[in-house]
Structure 1
Amino acid sequence: MGPTASGKSSVALEIARHFPVEIVSVDSAQVYRHMNIGTAKPDAKTMAAVPHHLINLIEPHERYSAARFLGDALATMREITQRGNIPLLVGGTMLYFRALTKGLSELPSADADIRMAIETRAEANGWPALHKELWRLDPASAARIQPTDSQRIQRALEVCYLTDMPMSEILKKPRHVCLPYRVTGITLIPAERDVLHQRIAHRFDEMLKMGLIDEVRAIRDKFCLEDESPSMRCVGYRQVWMYLNGEVGLAKMYEMALAATRQLAKRQLTWLRPMKEVKEFDCLAETLSEQVRKYLLETGLHAR
């Protein structure tokens, strides 16, 4: 695990050189087909050299959830172990990691009629108005959801209407976990945040050179998407989408994308730092791969 641009993929490939692993992506953006550049998705050569899973599962207009990830991941991990290999989970979507290791709360399934009613009211009054209603029904959820985050406002209100309970209260209930594996957790944490920010800027520069804007334009032309489509809310894609819509200029798009990516890294680090059951490594260390390999040997993992 680690924040964006911490070098997770490179370390994972190095691990695969020494241990019998198959990589399971824990990335909510890499599940989308056609979104290759902005998600830093491994190329065809890399995926041919080392088996990768849970990549390119759905189209950009479709939705993916933590619950679906949980089912997909457990099924994939079972298949990997049946082949005599070890599942190596790699990514930065901390909600997915938590679903796998801590379980999911028993929230009700989506209700199309209630969602339509909420959307109709939002069209008439705006999402900030519905956010005010959420403050009345579920203050704890409203406090962590932005007034413009339509997807999360809608889900929180939907749960309130279906259960007559605040979603925040349901999330407090004990979760049932059945993970039949011994977990060895590794986090990549930068000793210097400024250096990570430099990496983020360099990587976004490379993405633009590789054709990120054209990638988003092609997706925009091919699929029926909206501003709030989950795929276009991914960091980088959202800002390029706004640029293509004429909402911001090129320089502003670049500035906003870097700021959003740095914020993403900050949120990921906030998730990671309290974790006590994982081994932390400095992702900026020159000998990072060697340190990780040595640690895995010490944990009893057998090399090839």
Structure 2
Amino acid sequence: MKFPVDILQNCWFLAGPTAVGKSELAIRLAEELDGEILSLDSMAIYRQMNIGTAKPTQEQQNRVPHHLIDLIDPDGEFSTAEYLVNAVNVSREVMNRGKTPVFVGGTGLYLRALLRGVFEGPPADWEFRNELKERAETEGPNWLHSQLSNVDPVSAERLHPNDHRRLIRALEIHHLTGQPASLIQNEQPLPEEERPSHVYWLSPDREWLRDRIDTRVEFMIESGLMAEVQNLLQRDPPIGRTARQALGYREMIDFLEGRCESLDETIEKIQTGTRQFAKRQHTWFRNLVECRPLERRPEDTDIDLLQRILSS
């Protein structure tokens, strides 16, 4: 499944690690381009998950229309292929209004799907999946990840040990094809003449980003992340497996369910996990040849970055 090249070439893309300042910069870029924003965030698709995902505020959404957020309830599942279908449809609608689609976010898997397409793979083997789920419950939370490391270390490096859905799918692909998912899912870049011209990722100073991440996590706690998670646990049906693994939510659930003793420890775990996640994002974007790095220095303002993007 591929993103139509004629639409792709009319889109702008702004990616980067969490807390780097993508949202406000993207709004300024969309205002300059007479555009609308399409989210590149795999957790912003969930309704009722606003604080922990740093979802655009209502004021930001009033400035520029935002799409591909609040698509499903927190108990649902949403594949990369489904995201791609939605992205194609919304991009076409935006262009039909005479506007420019501006994608912004930090989910490297989504960005790669837009730029290179999605390998749909063999159909599900539910008997094999259920066997893996039963073994995982018996062997412990890291068993799936260790199994994948044995047969597909590249995919294991990319996936979080708690991302059971994607771990099982990668193991299933290997089981059904005899090849690592990372090998057969390795979609190649489009020919250079077909690639979009405006694909940027913000590459920040590491210490500056570390401070930004720590401050953002503290702000999320102050803004009511605990209450948001409590509401998700109390809803019927409750928050699902994939949404539970979102950064901030996973750690707060552990605290609320008694697996973490103190709020201070929980905050520290969220900060540490977010810094580790930012490193993985950095690797994703650096390895996508379609992406042009845009250095974000500590002294840079959004206006500085906007001018550099528009003049590049």
Is residue 2:233 matched to residue 1:206? no
Cα deviation, residue 113, structure 1: 3.3
Whole-Å separation in 2 of the counterparts to 1:121 and 1:287: 51
Is residue 2:58 matched to residue 1:8? no
Is residue 2:247 matched to residue 1:235? yes
| 1:75 equivalent among 71, 80, 89 | 89
Match of 2:7 in 1: none
Match of 1:111 in 2: 125
1:246–1:44 distance in 2 versus 1, CA, 3 Å: same
Is residue 2:115 matched to residue 1:85? no
Whole-Å separation in 2 of the counterparts to 1:77 and 1:115: 34
Deviations 1:188-209 (A, max 9, x none): 121x311211111111111111
1:136–1:251 distance in 2 versus 1, CA, 3 Å: closer
Report the residue type matching 1:235 in the other structure.
Answer: L
| 1:265 equivalent among 278, 281, 285 | 278
| 2:199 equivalent among 185, 188, 194 | 185
Report the residue type matching 2:248 in the other structure.
Answer: G
Instruction: Trace 1:1-304 onto structure 2 (pairs within 5 A).
Output: 1-126=15-140, 128-129=142-143, 133-134=147-148, 137-138=151-152, 141=155, 149-172=163-186, 182-190=196-204, 192-225=205-238, 229-248=241-260, 249-275=262-288, 277=290, 278-282=292-296, 284-293=298-307, 295-296=309-310, 298=311
Cα deviation, residue 264, structure 1: 1.0
CA contact (8 A) 1:104 1:175 kept: no
1:180–1:194 distance in 2 versus 1, CA, 3 Å: same
Identity of aligned residues (%): 38
Whole-Å separation in 1 of the counterparts to 2:305 and 2:156: 43
Match of 2:6 in 1: none
Whole-Å separation in 2 of the counterparts to 1:140 and 1:49: 41
CA contact (8 A) 1:30 1:55 kept: yes
1:13–1:125 distance in 2 versus 1, CA, 3 Å: closer
Report the residue type matching 2:74 in the other structure.
Answer: P
Report the residue type matching 1:46 in the other structure.
Answer: Q
Cα deviation, residue 172, structure 1: 4.0
Whole-Å separation in 1 of the counterparts to 2:184 and 2:289: 25
1:51–1:148 distance in 2 versus 1, CA, 3 Å: closer
Whole-Å separation in 2 of the counterparts to 1:239 and 1:152: 20
Cα deviation, residue 275, structure 1: 4.7
Cα deviation, residue 136, structure 1: 5.5
Match of 2:11 in 1: none
1:173–1:79 distance in 2 versus 1, CA, 3 Å: closer
Cα deviation, residue 64, structure 1: 1.5
Report the residue type matching 2:233 in the other structure.
Answer: R
Whole-Å separation in 2 of the counterparts to 1:137 and 1:295: 41
1:112–1:180 distance in 2 versus 1, CA, 3 Å: farther
Cα deviation, residue 212, structure 1: 0.3
Q: Tell me, which stretches of 5 or more residues in structure 2 are unaligned?
A: 1-14
Cα deviation, residue 22, structure 1: 0.3
1:222–1:160 distance in 2 versus 1, CA, 3 Å: same
CA contact (8 A) 1:70 1:100 kept: yes
1:128–1:262 distance in 2 versus 1, CA, 3 Å: closer
Report the residue type matching 1:213 in the other structure.
Answer: M
Deviations 1:262-296 (A, max 9, x none): 11111111222345541513153333424423532
CA contact (8 A) 1:282 1:288 kept: no
Whole-Å separation in 2 of the counterparts to 1:78 and 1:149: 32
Report the residue type matching 2:283 in the other structure.
Answer: T
Whole-Å separation in 2 of the counterparts to 1:28 and 1:147: 17
Cα deviation, residue 81, structure 1: 0.8
Q: How many residues align?
A: 295
CA contact (8 A) 2:36 2:101 kept: yes
Report the residue type matching 2:285 in the other structure.
Answer: L
